[in-house]
Amino acid sequence: MKRVLVTGCNGYIGSHTVKALAKSGCEVHGIDWNKRSPNKVKKYVHNYMIGDVKDFTKAYRYDAVVHLAGYISVEESVKYPLQYFENNTMGTHWQLHFNGTNGCENFIFASTAAAFNPVSPYAQSKLMAESLVKAMAKNYTIFRFFNVAGNDGEFRQTGDSTHLIRIAAETAAGKRDHMKIYGNDWNTRDGTCVRDYVHVMDLVDCILKAIEVPANSDYECIGSGIGYTVNEVIDVMRDVSGVNFKAEYAPRRPGDAAEIVIPAKQKSKYFYGNRTLEQMCESAYKIELK
């Protein structure tokens, strides 16, 4: 039985990961500062800890650490860059320090696809953390996640809504009277930003594989291999929900990029996603109705 620590265990990706690990037979330990999360993971966790990852002490030896804790908002990172470097970069450093000196064989790090074009402090903080993982971890896998969406029907995204599919689902469910599209003058096929999306359960499947066999590659991309514009995502949400909700154009946001998808030269090696955009949108919409 593998003993695995998941940081950010109450979060969106963390909760799905904890559940899958427990069902696979692992002894799961979890740490998170957010004790008010709607995701109730205690039933899947052997040792449940509330606290900051930077305050973590090495009480156990772990076979693997899945480091998911971190700040994730591009827009917020532009306003508060130092907080992002402290939490995302230094938080990773402390996890590597505590667990790397305590016999951890495998460190799995949640980076971001934004690191391909690091124009925001969020992306830069993750890029710096990637370098620390390569320098300090014995064995590791660095995942550059694309926009994660969907759910397993039990757990949901937490905190402020920042992801397009979640915001579109909230609007379709009547929790918002409209949503904003930030910029319609980007150099893309319809003028709105292009992003790649991956279902959270595809991502979790990859994490479980990485626990068994660390890659020690520069990074592994997790996405669908397809780039969708903001308008296209909204159209899919309207189709699966049957609601023709309102979307308005707004000025561009600082820190955004026109297009972030898996680079073409990497698709054959790093393409893992199997579930569709329709599945992501449908599950996101249904959980907002609960």
On the CB side of 47, CA atoms within 13 Å amount to 13
Q: What residues of the chain score a pLDDT lower than 50?
A: 268
Catalytic: 272? no
- The residue assigned the tokens 């023709």 is 244
- The pLDDT score that the predictor gives to residue 231 is 98
Q: Which of 71, 122, 270, 272 is catalytic?
A: 122
| pLDDT of the residue at 270 | 61
Neighbouring-strand partners of residue 47 = 29
Report all structural domains of the chain as residue ranges with CATH numbers, in order of start: 3-288 (3.40.50.720)
pLDDT of residue 56: 64
Determine the pLDDT at residue 24.
96
Whole-angstrom Cα Rg for the chain = 18
CA pair distance 136, 134, nearest whole angstrom: 6
Pairing of strands 147-149, 107-110: unpaired
Residue 183's pLDDT is 97
Please tell me the predicted confidence (pLDDT) of residue 101. 62
Q: Which amino acid is at 192?
A: T
Greatest CA separation for the chain: 54
User: What is the residue type of 146?
Assistant: F
Say what the pLDDT of residue 265 is.
Answer: 60
Q: What pLDDT sits at residue 268?
A: 46
